[in-house]
Chain A
Amino acid sequence: GENVEQHPSTLSVQEGDSAVIKCTYSDSASNYFPWYKQELGKGPQLIIDIRSNVGEKKDQRIAVTLNKTAKHFSLHITETQPEDSAVYFCAASIESNFGNEKLTFGTGTRLTIIP
């Protein structure tokens, strides 16, 4: 089955700097890669996703890049703010015509923004 590795496990950056979180996946059939933000005591919140037919997607300060050949995708947060502090999870899935299959999550990155 799919295995998703995520690095680093913890990341501290100064407010205003950029943060990068990296994930690799093992199943070449995976074609959908969401990123979730989890704040303390809450459920994972979808923040951005990318499908395998594109290499990069951006939404304001957040961007995701995908390298299908290397089976590698990354989350980039620019101009970080204190409210970006949270645990971030990457995930991989196979989209089919019938809907998503299960999400396989990475181990999470605890991001701390230092004011």
Chain B
Amino acid sequence: EPEVTQTPSHQVTQMGQEVILRCVPISNHLYFYWYRQILGQKVEFLVSFYNNEISEKSEIFDDQFSVERPDGSNFTLKIRSTKLEDSAMYFCASSESGRSYEQYFGPGTRLTVT
């Protein structure tokens, strides 16, 4: 069964450094999302992406965040200057256009900012 994949599974970085989290959505999906989950808390929406542009973003998704689909398969989240409070699990999700609107999540990247 097709699935969303994410790399790396765990990323440790120092405060102020840039990180890029990578996702490969399900191949025939057209809508892409990033969510994050701070340890023990609910999953929070960050950004949605369709047709090579941001559809919607939350207030969490400030100028230090950016997303990109650099080729036909990858979808990336960049954090320009990481802060301690960026430590969280970051989940990529994708959904298909047409009749099916279900969002399928990847296994996540655990980001630890020290």
Show the binding face of A for B, using Cβ within 8 Å. Answer: 32, 34, 36, 41-46, 49, 89, 91, 93, 95, 98-108
A101-B56, A104-B45, A108-B42 given; A34·B106 CB < 8 A? no
Show the binding face of B for A, using Cβ within 8 Å. Answer: 4, 30-31, 33, 35, 41-45, 48, 50, 55-56, 58, 91, 95, 97, 101-108
- Would you call the interface of chain A mostly helix, strand, loop, or mixed? strand
For residue A30, give the distance in angstroms from its CB to the closest CB of chain B: 13
Residue in chain B with minimal CB distance to A91: B43
A89-B43, A101-B48, A106-B42 given; A46·B31 CB < 8 A? no
A36-B105, A43-B106, A95-B101 given; A102·B58 CB < 8 A? yes
Please provide the 3 A-B residue pairs with the shortest distance between their CB atoms, ordered closest to farther.
Answer: A102-B45, A43-B105, A105-B43
**Sample of 21 A–B contacts (CB below 8 Å):** A32-B101, A34-B103, A42-B108, A43-B4, A43-B106, A43-B108, A44-B105, A45-B105, A46-B103, A46-B105, A98-B50, A99-B30, A100-B31, A101-B48, A102-B33, A102-B45, A102-B56, A103-B35, A103-B103, A105-B44, A106-B42
Compute how far the CA of A27 lies from the CA of B97 in the bound complex, rounded to whole angstroms. Answer: 23
Residues of A within 8 A of B50 (CB): 98-99
Residue with the greatest number of chain A CB neighbours at <10 A, chosen from B41, B42, B102, B103 = B103
Residue in chain A with minimal CB distance to B104: A46
Residues of A within 8 A of B4 (CB): 43
B102 near A49: Cβ-Cβ < 8 Å: yes
